[in-house]
Every structure is written in structure tokens, then in C-alpha cells.
Amino acid sequence: MASKVSKAITIGDLRELARRRTPEFVFVPVETGGDDGNGPARNADGFHKYHLSAHALVDCSTVKLDATVFGRTYSRPFGISAVGFAGIMRRHAEQMLAEAAVEANIPFMLSSSSCASIEEIARIAPKHVWQQLYAARDSRITDDMLRRARDAGVEVLAFTVDAPAPMYNHWLVRAGLKLPAYVPPAKWPYVIWQALRHPRWTWEHASRGGLPRADSWAPYAPAGASANDVARLSWSQTPTFHEWPEVERLRRLWPGKLLIKGIVRPDDAARALDLGADAVIVSNHGGNKLDCMPAAIDILPGIAAHVGHRAPLLFDGGIRRGSNILVAHGLGANFSMVARATLYGVMAGGTEGALRAIEILSSEIKRDLAMIGCPDIARMDATYIHGSARHIDLPRRREPAVEKIDKIAVS
């Protein structure tokens, strides 16, 4: 009998399966992000104002999806972005996402607030792991995280700069919850009721001793520290305020590629590159940062026009369909990262669910490229965006040399 995730035809279907499987006190914070919860919805809805324009009579019998980033060619023009404490949403979620990334040949960005250690994920997905970093208050912890990532063979570091203060989720505050570290006594009946209504999620955690520990932070806690103790340690160290000298310091320490994640202004993007970053990720933290910020896709064109010729430009925010990735490429992105889409998949069906999310997006991208007469994602630019958006002063895609096209494997 086919699994439920195999029957999902959209990311929305996976989202619904994830919602049914997961207690409300886990799913709602994932869905709503910061403040009143409008940020993630605005990110997704922001794509609605952009429409694709089709070139007619183009041979798209073969459509290429592969993309090269930082010298490595991936089979899709997107990767899996970082999600903190994903192991709470489904046990071993980070390991499952890493497995899916290897099978699909795409990058997986591991959160520095993960329930799995960088060492374990690097063993599962060698050459596919990017390490996301929140710089700690204690620079010795930051430096050791860099050492561990380097020793594990990680080549790409994504320094996240858009969360200097704790996320403030109205729903969680009203509920009086701060998982996994604190559930007030008055809320235990509600938590138990939700746990009983979602027995598969409850069993996978209860049978293994409760909610998982953040193994990314465990080396910095006392021996024998509980999951709550480690969570409190991470919250005491991050988020915190850092300034531009921290970028310079990390650039000196990190030998690999350095990305600055969470850029929403052209001048900040330029400054990051001036200080030695290899690329920037245009992102408003999935809409989690503030509910009063514009959609990430609306921020992208201005940054692309300002710095798009200087370095690769990555995009992260609100992607739920393959056409969203085409719009991001058309507005100047060289590569996209998805978080909630693959998270819904892994919450709904583990590794199989994550792979189903990747396949849904991939098949949509491939079909949509053929529909608009673009046989190669590398050629996707502003000429394929309808209306006023196509007049934005964006970098034009370079046409690949003819002699190189014949050597590229068809995906």
C-alpha cells in the first residue's frame, strides 16, 4: 500500500499531513514564526504578484535543472535550509533531511541549534552539509563550532545575522510555553491532551526518553546535562548582538566559503562582500524575524541590482512551489534554499516525506521551465518575468558556451 506522503501532489498536501501528525504546541510555532504570525504567510503570498512570461517555439524536450554553487554541481537549483530544533518536530529530522539531501544531490544546511551534532550529519551527508552559525556570546564557543565544522569536512559556513533578539511568538506567549525547557503546571493538561491526540509523535519521543537534546550544544554543557539544561545553555548564548567586525573575524578563522545569511538591504549586502564574504543569502528568517517586514521576494530585486554581478546571490523565504524558485531566479537569485517545504515533508513522512517534497518542487520546476520556453534553469532571468518586474535593472544570465553544453549531463 502506498504511503500517504507518496500520494501528496503539492507542498500544501504535505503541510496538512504534517499538521495532522504533530501536536498543536509544536506545529503552530513552526507555522506562524514571530509576533502575530503574518510574516511566513506574507513571504509565501509575496510570490503572487509576480507572473511568468513564456517564450514560444523553444525546444524544451530536454530541461536542465542542475546548478553549480561554490564549485559543486547539484541536481536541483535549490537546497534545504536550516531549521532549529527540527528533531522536536520529528525525531531524527536532521538526520532524515541529510539523507534526503544526499539522495537528491542537493545541499543541506544544518542549524547550529540542531538536535543532531555536526559530526553525525557530516558522516551521513559528506560534501553535502553546509553549517549555519549563530555566533555565541562566548566567542570561544563560536570558535569551537567552527573547528568542529572544519574538522568534519564542512566547506560552507552560513553566518546568520538577522536574529539579534529572541523571537517573540504571540501564540506561544499566550500559551505560556517555552519548549523544551519550560511548561508551566497549569498547561500540562493541555500538553497531555495534545500528546494523546497525536500518538505517533508522542510515542517516537516518549519511547526514547522524551524530547531530544540539542547535540550541537551538548559539548558546552556539563556532563550529564538534560535536554532542558542544554536548551537553556543555548538560549543563554544566542541570540546576541554582534557587529560587522564579527564578519571580519569569522572570515579570518574560516578557511572555506563564507555566506552571510539574513541580508535584506543592498548596502548590507555590499558591505558583507567588501568584508570578504563569498555570497549573501537574501532572507528575512522565513518571515519569523518581524511580522511587519516585506516579503523576502520583494527585497530580492534591489539587492540583485546592487551586488548581483559581484558574487552568487542566494534566496530563502516563502518557497512553496517550483514556480516560486523560477521567480526568484528571474529576479536575480543564483540558487534558492527551502525550509518549511522540506520540513513539512519530514514531519509528515520522515526521509520519504522529505524526498517527496524535493520531488514535488523538482517536477514543478521542470514542467514550468518547459511551459515558459526555458530549457535550462541557468538561463532563467528577468526576461521571463511578466510586466514591470522585467524592467528592473538586474544582472543578465550569461549564456553558457556551446562547447560546454554538450559536456553537461542531462538531468
Residue 47 is predicted with a pLDDT of 97
Residue 3 is predicted with a pLDDT of 86
51 part of the active site: no
Three cell numbers written together for 48: 503572487
Question: Which is the catalytic residue, given 92, 128, 285, 306?
Answer: 285
Residue 392 is predicted with a pLDDT of 57
Q: What percent of the chain has pLDDT over 70?
A: 93
Record the pTM.
0.92
In 3D space, the residue among 365, 336, 257, 357 whose CA is nearest the CA of residue 18 turns out to be: 357
Q: How would residue 174 be classed by pLDDT, with cut points 50, 70 and 90?
A: confident
Residues 6 or more apart whose CB falls under 8 angstroms from that of 280 comprise 259, 260, 261, 263, 269, 272, 273, 303, 307, 311, 313, 314
Residue 397 is predicted with a pLDDT of 57
Residue 216 dihedral angles phi and psi, to the nearest 5°: -65, -30
Average pLDDT over residues 82-96: 96
Q: How would residue 396 be classed by pLDDT, with cut points 50, 70 and 90?
A: low
Residue 82 dihedral angles phi and psi, to the nearest 5°: -75, 140
- The DSSP output letter for 409 is P
What pLDDT digit, counting tens, does each position of 20-76 carry? 999 999 999 999 988 888 999 999 999 999 999 999 999 999 999 999 999 999 999
* All structural domains of the chain with their residue ranges: 5-168+237-404
In 3D space, the residue among 149, 151, 168 whose CA is nearest the CA of residue 109 turns out to be: 149
In 3D space, the residue among 285, 16, 249, 55 whose CA is nearest the CA of residue 136 turns out to be: 249
Q: What is d(CA 117, CA 135) in angstroms, rounded to the nearest whole number?
A: 17
Mean pLDDT value across the chain: 92
Q: What is d(CA 204, CA 21) in angstroms, rounded to the nearest whole number?
A: 12
Average pLDDT over residues 218-242: 92
* pLDDT(206) > 70: yes
Question: Environment class of residue 183 by beta-carbon count within 10 Å: exposed (0-12), middle (13-18) or buried (19+)?
Answer: middle
What pLDDT digit, counting tens, does each position of 253-308 carry? 999 999 999 999 999 999 999 999 999 999 999 988 888 899 999 999 999 999 98
Name the CATH topology of 5-168+237-404. Answer: TIM Barrel (3.20.20)
Query: What's the CA angle centered on 238, arms 208 and 235, to 5 degrees?
Result: 45
Query: What would you report as the CA-atom Rg of the chain, rounded to the nearest whole angstrom?
Result: 21
Longest dimension (CA), the chain: 69
Residue 169 is predicted with a pLDDT of 87
Average pLDDT over residues 99-109: 98
Residue 148 is predicted with a pLDDT of 98
Average pLDDT over residues 311-321: 97
338 pairs with which residues across the strands? 80
Residue with grid cell 549531463, as numbered in its chain: 409
Q: How would residue 411 be classed by pLDDT, with cut points 50, 70 and 90?
A: very low
Buried b or exposed e, range 130-148, using 16+ CB within 10 angstroms: bbbbbbbeeeebbeebbeb
What pLDDT digit, counting tens, does each position of 121-146 carry? 999 999 999 999 999 999 999 999 99
